[in-house]
Amino acid sequence: MASPVPRDATRSRIHGLLVDSDVPLAHATPVTGSGPADVVVRRSAEPWAGPLEGVEVAVMAEGPHRHLLVDRGAAGYALDVPGVLAGTIDRSGGQVLLHLHPDADPGIAQLVVSGLVLSLALVVRGQTLVHASAVETGGRALAVMGPSGSGKSTLAAVLCRAGARLLADDQLRIDLTDGARCWPSARHVRARQHGLGSLVAERSPAGGSSADGRSLIEPALSGSGSCRLDAIVVPAFDPAGQEVRLGRLDGLAAATAILAARAVPGRFSPAWEAAAFHRALDIATTVPVWRAVLPWGAEHFTVIARELLALVDPTRSSSGRTQ
């Protein structure tokens, strides 16, 4: 039986899902309406009884993204994020019960719930969520994919300055039910306060700072629901470069790049690893994946935007493209 909706829950849409949550969510769009939610997130008033018992399926043992997820059979999954929260996810991925650590920073807890917790719920539901920022132009989406610090948010802001509209920042759900589709999951871009990130932030509409110390940029947002995903870009920067160099990745190389960018970091059980690889391979055979070597510096923003947006918008120049 489904758990009741929390009395103080707010209904929002994120990653294309309706979420009822009494824990504030980042990057979510508030919505109204009746009917059942896809995911219900409830905050427990009881302390966490731990420790976790079950079969490890996902673990990150060190660093700022530490977590442990175990499979408890019919009881679902149990999650621990040290110093932030612990909780459970049922086997449908539709019911999440959280115990927030009493000393956890509220802003960090919000980011963890919106990011890691909902990412794990999506994986439990058999969905694919990758580390990617995405923009939309003419109803077609371009995703910039890669690990933390690879320039995803910076490039999304550059593309928005050139007229594209923001779909996602840092996390993107990709679904192949009806071709390749992706959903809005951000209301701003979080740019790092150094390197190209600071240069973009200086030239973009500012919106304060995020809980993790990044500059918030507020570009125009996509008014679309789901968008057709027409291209994925894996970026690298060449400080000595003067032009954009694009190369198409083949099936296995593309699938490997997608797998490396999955939104949940760490080590996985063999069954979860195999399922993730097959989903990545299906995406790689549906959506063109490009390796983009990009020149470094604000003086190249215009050409970078032109060449990358040309991958999804045929009206733009694509003189730097190579096969």
Confidence of residue 195 (pLDDT cuts 50, 70, 90): very low
Q: What does residue 221 show for φ and ψ, rounded to 5 degrees?
A: -100, 150
pLDDT per position as a tens digit, 202-214: 455 555 555 455 5
- Quick one: fold of 129-309? Rossmann fold (3.40.50)
The domain ranges of the chain are 10-126, 129-309
Per-position b or e across 170-205, b if 16+ CB within 10 A of its CB: bbbbbbeeeebbbbbbbbbbbbbeeebbebbbeebe
- Strand boundaries in 90-198, DSSP class E: 95-100, 128-137, 140-145, 165-168, 171-175, 181-182, 189-191
215: confidence class by pLDDT, cuts 50, 70, 90: low
Task: For residue 100, give the 3-state DSSP assignment.
Answer: strand
pLDDT tens per residue across span 147-191: 877 788 889 888 988 899 988 888 899 999 888 999 887 766 755
What's the whole-number mean pLDDT along residues 115-121? Answer: 92
pTM of structure: 0.82
The first and second tokens of residue 162, run together, are 């050139």
